[in-house]
Amino acid sequence: MVKNFEDLQQVSKDNVEVAMKSVGALSKGAQAIAVEVADYSKKSFEDGTAALEKLFGVKSFEKAIELQTEFAKTSYEGFVAKASKIGELYADLAKESYKPFESMFAKAK
């Protein structure tokens, strides 16, 4: 009876350790994603403000269209690049938060 209780305590302790490792990985990954999103938001706002200032300074309609087209192109390219980076961070987050459970699932087989 005592042996079973000790085994149960050890399994519980192992499960708590695995859960804590997973939560740590989740926290670290979420923080990295939040930093990337904040950096992108700041850069996007600054780029938009700079483009608007340039747009107010143009003398011809053709130049305004040219500036707007260039801004739209660079904004889109920046968005796609950052979205890919954030997608990779989410994939890494999923892998890292699952990793502590792999050994537990392997024992169960």
Q: Which domain holds residue 28?
A: 2-108
pTM attached to this predicted model: 0.76
How many domains does the chain fold into?
1
What is the per-residue pLDDT for 87? 95
102 token code pair: 């792999």
Output the pLDDT for position 28.
Answer: 92
What's the mean pLDDT when you consider all of the chain?
89
Write down the residue that tokens 């403000």 correspond to. 49
**pLDDT at residue 79 above 60?**
yes
Q: Of 17, 77, 13, 75, nearest to 43 (Cα)?
A: 75
Instruction: Pick 53 or 3 by higher pLDDT.
Output: 53
15: left (phi over 0), alpha (psi -120 to 50) or beta: alpha
pLDDT interval class at 109 (50, 70, 90): low
Let me know: does 43 contact 75? Beta carbons within 8 Å.
no
